Amino acid sequence: MEFIDPPPNDRTKRSEEWVERVRLMRENRGEWAKVGTYSPAVATFIRRGNYKAFLEADSPIDPAVYMKQHWEVTTRSVGDSRQDVFVRWLG
């Protein structure tokens, strides 16, 4: 066992990456974008509205409802419990 400080939190960097991805998807309405290869949980988190970059600021709509109305998410298995995640902006 070691007593050391954890590494810096890189969530901000990841959030900035999602903001840029969402911006590009909104510019290409209706087109599928492969956002990456992840565990199946990532697609679920996107569908539930856990990724704030996909949501409208100050929207009174429940995040999961908003996502269902404005975004489409699908996956394709690539083996070893990972999936390609595809997302498109419906508008």
φ/ψ of 7, rounded to 5, equals -65, 165
Residue by residue, pLDDT tens for the chain (91 residues) are 889 888 876 655 668 889 999 999 999 999 999 999 999 999 999 999 999 999 998 888 999 999 999 999 999 999 889 999 999 999 9
Burial of residue 2 (CB within 10 Å: 0-12, 13-18, 19+) is: exposed
C-beta separation of 46 from 85 below 8 A: yes
What's the pLDDT at 7? Answer: 80
* C-alpha of 13 from chain center: 14
